[in-house]
Amino acid sequence: MTGFNALSKLGLAVAGLAFTAPAMADVLKGEAIDQTVRGKRIYLATPFGGEFPLNYRPNGRVDGDGEALGLGRLMRPQDSGRWWVRENRLCQQWSTWEQGQTYCFTLRKTGPRSLAWVRNDGLEGTARIGN
- Main-chain phi, psi angles of 15, to 5 degrees: -70, -30
List, in sequence order, every residue forming a beta bridge with 110; answer none if it has no partner: none
pLDDT at residue 24 in the model: 53
Q: What is the pTM of this model?
A: 0.76
Residues 6+ positions from 123 with CB-CB distance below 8 Å: 4, 8, 12, 15
C-alpha to C-alpha distance for 83 and 45, rounded to whole angstroms:
20
Mean pLDDT by 10 residues, the chain (131 residues): 39 34 72 97 86 94 76 64 97 94 97 96 95 81
Quote the pLDDT of residue 19: 37
pLDDT the model gives residue 34: 97
